[in-house]
Structure 1
Amino acid sequence: MDSLITAAGRALMAGDPLGALNRVALRDDAPALALRGIAMAQLGDLDRAKTLLRRATRAFGAKEAVARARCSVAEAEIALVSRDLSWPAKALDTARVTLEAHGDRVNAAYARYLGARRLLLLGRLDDAEHTLAGLDPTPFPTALSAAHELVVAGIAIRRLRTKMARAALARAESAARHAGIAALTAEVESAGNVLNTPAARLIEQDGERLLLLEEVEALLASQALVVDACRHVVRDPDTTVSLATRPVLFALARLLGEAWPGDVPRGTLIAQAFRTRFADESHRARLRVEVGRLRAELGMLAEVSATKRGFKLVPHGARKVVVLARPIEDQHGDVLALLSDGEPWSSSALALALGVSQRTVQRALDSLATAGKVQSFGRGRARRWLTPPVPGFTTTLLLPAPLPAG
């Protein structure tokens, strides 16, 4: 490999894409095409970067398996940054296996890291942890060590393990500082802000207040019965009852939780849970049926008792009931939570991450766009959606993640 290629590669590792382009901008050989593609990706021209990397892959030829694998890893990173979650993960796995077989441990580790980040975006936390389990970041370059710790922190944040997250972010900050890459340092700082901004509202007998993620973690570990309006579950430290697919039952549970230890009049329950202004005998009959269903769902956690005016929630044992709500109540909060990372998402990637149909996501995006909360650019398959982060709040509790077993 000639001196210009070596110098360009070092410039890219130091986060200096313009320095790399100064050395290889006029060259069309395979190594130069690959370096130019990576440089363009660092500068944000992702379409041009993909074109250059694909040209480089073809130019390297079948005998240069390691170089082609490195191009595949670079293309996978571009797909991840552009939130193209449908990019074939098998291609990244194939590239990683090739790199491991040829002793390129650093790029193989980076391929594993990219796979873990994709799984994290999809809310597949167990799979992301398994992907990272075989990696020891100690011998890797500082930039890769920082990236590794960011994924570890991301998993810990989504699992509400804030002490583990802070430790990983401290390691990531140290590695990023030693790497001297401004963009990486900014990414670490942005991740750290999640732990220092309100994540939820606590609604209880004494009123409301905002909670940090650490406080949410402590609340969920306490003996309180929590009606969680972020994940649409009712839980205590030992049992979780999901009502995510039972919106009427969850609405009733939330109303009863907000009123605890008092009761809620039947008329209020009918009006708010059934979304109607006029109640007749059919609505009162339906309320009795839905309350019976709620009793069955919450049987291990609490009783729903009838009163003269309506119903009240009576938790098993001497403990309080609280409601955990979003900092800002907003329709389609799960879509906004994914868009709040500041990256442009396609509707297909949003649907894949949320586990719903693309048409459902498109309806949500159209509604949010009408309200001025999201913007789009591009057309057809190239259309992307984005929104600025909600100032002063973190949307961590709205991101897709597996619920604890009940």
Structure 2
Amino acid sequence: MSHKTLFSRALSLDPERLHFAAHSHHLWPDASFDAQVQTWVEANRFADRKWDLIFGEVIPRAQAHVARELNLPDPATVVFAPNTHDLLLRIVSGVERKPVRILSTDGEFHSFRRQAERWEEAGEALITRVALEPFETFDARFVAAATAGGFDLIVISQVFFRTGQVFGRVADLAALADPAGPWVVVDGYHGFMATPTDLGAVADRIFYLAGGYKYAMSGEGVCFLHAPDGYCPRPVITGWFSEFGELSGPPGGVPYRSDGGRFWGATFDVSPLYRFNAVRGMLDEAGLTTADVSAHARGLMERFQSAVTGGEAGKLSGAELINPLTDDISRARFLAFRDVKAADWRARLLDAGVFTDVRDDVIRFGFGLYQDEADVERLIETCRRVL
């Protein structure tokens, strides 16, 4: 079944393009355009009263959408920011021990990778990185390192951005979490709305970071943090929005909200929240859940994977598929192929009107709601022709 009508504006801007980078810059559905206009109208209609509307209706609606998607018991644990980097800084600022002892991996996204390297350089953090490869032993090796102890913070991706590898033992890390340390931070950017995610059993013990740029189809600026109660009650990096609500703190000290609002920053562009709410409303109206969208994408991936392994997609068949489809429900919504020619292949495909992306020697093909079977057949034919 095709769902292209939900993306008619974006697709009409470049009708011949084959956009197979849904995992990178997801195209925006029509509902987000209407939401962008609504943002302007309401900002000018309500003017000085705008923030009453934002905090009274727009943010609670967005919090409820996130809580429902992740099966969080309380939407008040969710706070928004323009990017996950801002939220990460606030978490780390609340660790009292210096330098901060962090356990992580060699495959985290750049928002953490670069900052972590600079923290090390400045003597502000000691970081232990567990190698992703060999993939088949990674989960066990990472949990063993975490269990050995000695860390203030444990940072790991739900789905790894470069390889599509899925970490399957979040519950084991949650069992180690403690308000006194370690704190567990899960980067869910490549998992949120890409694959069904139920945090109900661990929501009281882990931080979860994600955003709308990719599978939430809402563009930049709508990132969020789920913050468990009792963990990092007074982040050092803080914004004045945290002064509103039910406050607590030491006598004479800077007070904070006791819910997720303790991580609020300061004034920000609210249009991404409007887009996110509109996209979620669109999905509800269409009767589409994350499981439905994942199933649609999986069907397209199955055809493409079989074409590659069957030699129908040119030289791509000689590459190593590092995240092949399995029976697992939880997975990345892209196929990642490793080859020394990956960058050259991306350039060739781009010249032919096919958008993919490359991370080092890995070329990735992402699948989403705005593609159909005919698009995949065109992709296969183009790979056969130009690679």
Q: When you count strand as a share of all residues, which structure comes out higher?
A: 2
Higher Rg of the two aligned structures: 1
TM-score normalised by length of structure 2: 0.31
Q: When you count helix as a share of all residues, which structure comes out higher?
A: 1
Greater RCO, CA 8 A, separation 6+: 2
TM-score normalised by length of structure 1: 0.30
